[in-house]
Amino acid sequence: MEQTQEQQVVSMPRIGEPAPEFKAVTTQGDINFPSDYKGSWVILFSHPADFTPVCTSEFMTFATMEKQFAQANCKLVGLSVDGLYSHIAWLRTIKDKIEYRGMKDVEVKFPLIEDITMNVAKKYGMIQPGESNTKAVRAVFFVDPKGIIRAIIYYPLSLGRNFDELYRALIAMKTADEFGVATPADWRAGDDVIISPAGSCNAAKDRMDGKDSNIDECKDWFFCTKKLDKDKVLKAVIKG
């Protein structure tokens, strides 16, 4: 009996939990996820279908930025519910025929998972029946070097992703880990960072009295920042 939309259980991985494990066939050979990627950040992302225009623009953009992500110790892994030969044909077409926004002759060197069975897509909540039963939405999972999911972003079928934002998010998370800080709205390397809120009345008073040497400025006791030099950030989170 066919299930209604409400009856279909969509399993959704959660931030802070281990990335669900899977083995898959890809355009770069078989992979074991996430164990093959231990020690690296990974962006695992899904797209609705091969040979579609938004996805093509996204793959060209991501492939063009692959080196930039690699320098930040981050590997890319794509997925759609198409088969391997469709993936291969699409990537060949992109390289041989498509020119878009100054990008041409673009070779996609990162693995693209074939997932006709939807095994992986279902595990990662990429099939969202309200949007489509047969296509993965545009999901993005940031997985850290220990295999823990650190951020998740979902987009609908019609909305192409902003890859500068994915890169910004990666650098911000690595900076937060490295320096024990948080990053404010629209933060970029070189901007002031946020110090975690004062945990006691005395700490709050010290901050407002200018007695906490770790802090450069407080808007109020709960909103304090410090300077973090751009070069120091880049040295810490990007390979030379």
Report strand pairing: 193-195 vs 223-226. antiparallel
Binding ligand BEZ (rule: CB under 6 A), the pick from 48, 78, 111, 125 is 48
47 and 55 in contact (C-beta within 8 Å)?
Answer: yes
Q: What is the DSSP letter of 133?
A: S
Q: Work out which of 31, 49, 208, 238 binds ligand BEZ, going by CB under 6 A.
A: 49
When the beta carbons of 54 and 173 are compared against ligand BEZ, the nearer one is 54
Q: Which of 19, 43, 44, 55 binds ligand BEZ (CB under 6 A)?
A: 55
Q: Which of 55, 74, 218, 224 is catalytic?
A: 55
Sheet strands side by side (includes 223-226): 193-195, 223-226, 217-220
Spatial CB neighbours of 111, under 8 Å, sequence gap ≥ 6: 26, 27, 28, 29, 31, 77, 78
Instruction: Report residue 235 as tokens.
Output: 């040295």
Q: Which of 153, 157, 203, 234 binds ligand BEZ (CB under 6 A)?
A: 157
DSSP 8-state symbol, 98: -
Instruction: For residue 224, indicate whether it is catalytic.
Output: no
DSSP reduced 3-state for 139: strand
Binding-site member from 158, 186, 199, 201 for ligand BEZ (CB under 6 A): 158
In eight-state DSSP terms, residue 94 is H
- Which CB, 166 or 193, lies closer to ligand BEZ? 166
> Please, which residue, 46 or 183, has the CB nearer to ligand BEZ?
46
Q: Contacts with ligand BEZ in 69-128 (CB under 6 A)? A: none
Catalytic residues, which ones? 55
**Residue numbers of the site for ligand BEZ (CB under 6 A)?**
48-49, 52-55, 135, 157-158
